[in-house]
Amino acid sequence: MYSTEFLDLPPLAHAAGCLRLPGSKSISNRVLLMAALSQGSTTVHDLLDSDDTRIMLDALRQLGCGVARDGTTATITGLGATRPAGARLFMGNAGTAMRPLTAALAVLGGEFELSGVPRMHERPIGDLVDALRQLGCRIDYLGEPGYPPLRLGAGGAAPALTLTAPIQVRGDVSSQFLTSLLMALPLVAQRDVVIEVIGELISKPYIDITLNLLARFGVTVRRDGWQRFTIPAGSRYQSPGVIHVEADASSASYFIALGAVATMAQGQKGLKTIKIEGVGANSIQGDIRFIDAAVAMGATVNSGPNWLEVSNARWPLQAIDLDCNHIPDAAMTLAVMALYANGTTRLTNIASWRVKETDRIAAMATELRKLGATVEEGADFIAITPPKPGQWKAASIHTYDDHRVAMCFSLAAFNPAGVSVRIEDPKCVAKTFPDYFEALFALAEAPPGAIPVLCVDGPTASGKGTLASELAARLGYHYLDSGALYRITALAALRAGLALDAAHEGAVAVLARALPVRFVGDKVWLGDDDVSDAIRTEEAGMNASKVSVLPAVRTALVDLQHSFRRLPGLVADGRDMGTVIFPDAPLKVYLTANASQRAERRHKQLISKGIPAIIQDLLADLEARDLRDSSRTVAPLKPAEDALLLDNSALSIESSVTQVLDWWQARQPFSPGSTPA
Ligand code: DC
């Protein structure tokens, strides 16, 4: 997951390949609650691991359910006949936890407090509370009437429920209110319980998911149209024992769109596809109907029982006019596909966007305009006309703590103008798809030279490694410690019995070319050996210095170093990064510090590792090494001509990082001030 402040997407050219999607949020949280309300234990496979499911699991634990978790499998031991007495539950921004738990706990009785993040306290729940109050549940608003936070069952007495008359609930703000009643009322169905929907029911496919899953847990609801639902007398949750969660069809929409937008490489129609595993066209999730919209816009979609394969069939895409009531979440993806269409795309009947994670109509309109699109918005529609050629603008996309805004706007990076797109607060995707950007980068390809590289060089002990790895962490970029490659080469050569001299240059180069090296977190592996410590000694540094003057070895390591230039970008640290390996890097920094400062830092470092050292000796060593390094003929230590010099003798690490990030930001096309550095 990217926890950076922003994530810059360089222009992307095309995409192809196969991915497995994480589990559906809607199914995961429904299944977890139904398992909790059953007797006995339920093993849930392919569970989504995200913010919203973690919130549900935490709440269930607090209520006294057994929760055992192993990756994407969870075993829930249900409450059975136990009634939790009370709890204070934090619901974050998870509507799929807030609404159903409110209903279930209100009918069970006990005293509960449910709250969430500030946005949750702006998301309506009044229609559900009204329905539950009709039944006789006691619910108090702790803040604004109609919105969380809520207190249920003040006083703790079990409610005397009136189940004789049909329970009326409005269906035109959120279908989750009806879902919540459908999930709660089997707990008290000593007689037939009837729910009547007032007003037009929106997002019907989500009700289908609820009914389908209730059936798997032994509750068969009778449905008369979309107006009247009857939970038969004697209904009771029965665990199916084991249940598999389908992959998330809303998450699939980004990759279906990717297939529609990015598989046509230089007119080679049909050669490339995006294959999506975990969900097929026969999914129980309503958002799977996004496929039809994507096909109408120009995608070709093939499907099997548990997979989809998507490619592009027409370019530009076809603009559409579509009632999106049945696919409210996935429709946001259409709004971004509209940037690639041949005219104005109108998405209508989407009033529910206004009460989601953010006001999604306003958010989409604002951010699409930043890219140069013409957007018209109304109470329940949005109309998007793509930017004309030449009118595309690089944009820093504000994401409003809304995972779907972040994910769908990543598709704008395929724009024909080749402008970059910045996604602010990329970690908000954790709500449903923590590794979304990793999945995108595994499939997408940038045009040659488009992946940015930031080079850092400087004399030994200048702190360039610390600076470079911190920069990589702040930008979400990969990190190349090229010195480590020379250190590993020397180690591998010595282990193979080769002397590190010119006489063995050819043999050491052969070894370097096929170095079985892997960087995993802060560990370095050579084959099956963890060599992280072995390459960090002073002696290993000396040995690296010896192999690094052998030209054939330097050449042998070029391809390996180039292979680190992967999406979304690279920070490369070392001698010839800016001069030889990545001469086109948009920013090169040459870090210096006076020798006595560096000797002091090295001294501290060694002492902290328990290695005895004398400052004067270190200083003499450093000065000798500087001289040797800068006077050697092969790859001497010298700043690239276009490098910016940074003397950090008197700077903290943080101020050096800030300075370089400022330089980096100044080279980006995003308007100043849109994102703090
Ligand atoms: O940065 P370091 O101390 O890990 O580097 C080890 C040695 O390798 C040092 O003598 C410089 C040399 N080196 C090089 O010649 N070219 C690079 N790109 C990186 C390091």
Tens-place pLDDT, residues 67-94? 999 989 999 999 988 889 899 999 999 9
Q: Give the position, in ligand 1's atom list, of the atom nearest the Cα of 542.
A: 10
The pLDDT of residue 268:
56
What percent of the chain has pLDDT above 70? 98
Residue nearest to atom 20 of ligand 1 (CA): 483
Report CA 631 to chain centroid distance, whole Å: 47
How far is residue 249's CA from residue 105's CA, in Å, rounded to a whole number?
29
Per DSSP, the three-state class of 135 is helix
Tens-place pLDDT, residues 401-420? 999 999 999 999 999 999 99
The pLDDT of residue 332:
97
Tens-place pLDDT, residues 13-61? 999 999 999 999 999 999 999 999 999 999 999 999 999 999 999 999 9
Residue nearest to atom 1 of ligand 1 (CA): 483
Q: Give the position, in ligand 1's atom list, of the atom nearest the Cα of 634.
A: 15
Residue nearest to atom 16 of ligand 1 (CA): 575
Sheet strand arrangement including 167-170: 167-170, 193-198, 228-231, 222-224
**Burial class of residue 528 (count of CB atoms within 10 Å of its CB; 0-12, 13-18, 19+):** exposed
Distances (CA, A) of 230 to 47, 163, 185, 191, 233: 29, 12, 10, 10, 9
Q: Beta 570-573 vs 6-9: how paired, if at all?
A: unpaired
Tens-place pLDDT, residues 127-161? 999 999 999 999 999 999 999 999 999 988 878 89
- Mean pLDDT (whole number) for 232-255: 96
Tens-place pLDDT, residues 208-223? 999 999 999 999 999 9
Exposure of 92 in the CB half-sphere (CA atoms within 13 A): 19
pLDDT at 198 over 90: yes
pLDDT band at residue 111, thresholds of 50, 70 and 90?
A: very high
Three-state SS for 470-482 is: HHHHHHCCEEEEH
Going from the Cα of 309 to the center of ligand 1, the distance in angstroms, rounded, reads: 46
Task: Tell me which of 482, 487, 535 to substitute to probe ligand 1's pocket, judged by most ligand atoms within 8 Å of the beta carbon.
Answer: 482
Residue nearest to atom 17 of ligand 1 (CA): 575
- Helix H segments across 38-125? 51-62, 95-108
Going from the Cα of 465 to the center of ligand 1, the distance in angstroms, rounded, reads: 11
What percent of the chain has pLDDT above 90? 86
Amino acid at 412: A
Of residues 524, 527, 525, the one with CA closest to residue 496: 527
Q: Which residues line ligand 1 (CB under 6 A)?
A: 460, 482-484, 486-487, 541, 544-545, 548, 574-576, 635
- Mean pLDDT (whole number) for 446-468: 93
Residue nearest to atom 11 of ligand 1 (CA): 545
Q: Would you say the pTM of this structure is higher than 0.85?
A: yes
Going from the Cα of 140 to the center of ligand 1, the distance in angstroms, rounded, reads: 67
Going from the Cα of 662 to the center of ligand 1, the distance in angstroms, rounded, reads: 27
Per DSSP, the three-state class of 292 is helix
Torsion of CA 403, 407, 408, 410, to 10 degrees: 140
Q: Give the position, in ligand 1's atom list, of the atom nearest the Cα of 460.
A: 3
How far is residue 489's CA from residue 218's CA, in Å, rounded to a whole number?
63
The pLDDT of residue 677:
34
Q: Which among 8, 52, 329, 425 is annotated as catalytic?
A: 329
pLDDT at 584 over 50: yes
Of residues 527, 570, 548, the one with CA closest to residue 484: 548
Residue nearest to atom 9 of ligand 1 (CA): 545
How far is residue 537's CA from residue 518's CA, in Å, rounded to a whole number?
19
Going from the Cα of 8 to the center of ligand 1, the distance in angstroms, rounded, reads: 29
For the record, the structure tokens of 179 come out as 């879902």
Helix (H) or strand (E) holding 44: strand 41-45
Q: Give the position, in ligand 1's atom list, of the atom nearest the Cα of 465.
A: 1
Phi-psi label, residue 675: left if phi above 0, alpha if psi -120 to 50, beta otherwise: beta
Residue nearest to atom 15 of ligand 1 (CA): 548
Three-state SS for 554-623 is: HHHCHHHHHCCCCCCCEEEECCCHHHHHCCCCCEEEEEECCHHHHHHHHHHHHHHCCCCCCHHHHHHHHH
Task: Tell me which of 486, 576, 631 to substitute to probe ligand 1's pocket, judged by most ligand atoms within 8 Å of the beta carbon.
Answer: 486
- Mean pLDDT (whole number) for 476-499: 96
Tens-place pLDDT, residues 285-338? 999 999 999 999 999 999 998 899 999 989 999 999 999 999 999 999 999 999
Residue nearest to atom 10 of ligand 1 (CA): 545
Distances (CA, A) of 62 to 39, 55, 181, 475, 629: 17, 11, 22, 37, 62
Of residues 255, 316, 314, 243, the one with CA closest to residue 288: 255
DSSP H helix total and E strand total for the chain: 21, 33
- Mean pLDDT (whole number) for 637-651: 92
Task: Tell me which of 481, 537, 539, 545 to substitute to probe ligand 1's pocket, judged by most ligand atoms within 8 Å of the beta carbon.
Answer: 545
Going from the Cα of 542 to the center of ligand 1, the distance in angstroms, rounded, reads: 9
Q: Give the position, in ligand 1's atom list, of the atom nearest the Cα of 561.
A: 18
- Classify residue 405 by its DSSP letter: H
- Omega within 30 of 0 (cis) for the link into 10: no
The pLDDT of residue 521:
84
Going from the Cα of 486 to the center of ligand 1, the distance in angstroms, rounded, reads: 6
Residue nearest to atom 14 of ligand 1 (CA): 575
- Residue pair 295/301 in contact by the 8 Å Cβ criterion: yes
The pLDDT of residue 676:
40
Q: Is 380 one of the annotated active-site residues of the chain? A: no
Going from the Cα of 669 to the center of ligand 1, the distance in angstroms, rounded, reads: 33
Q: Give the position, in ligand 1's atom list, of the atom nearest the Cα of 548.
A: 15
The pLDDT of residue 675:
44
How far is residue 615's CA from residue 604's CA, in Å, rounded to a whole number?
9
pLDDT band at residue 674, thresholds of 50, 70 and 90?
A: very low
pLDDT at 571 over 80: yes
Going from the Cα of 461 to the center of ligand 1, the distance in angstroms, rounded, reads: 11
Q: Give the position, in ligand 1's atom list, of the atom nearest the Cα of 625.
A: 10
Instruction: Name the average pLDDT for the chain.
Output: 94
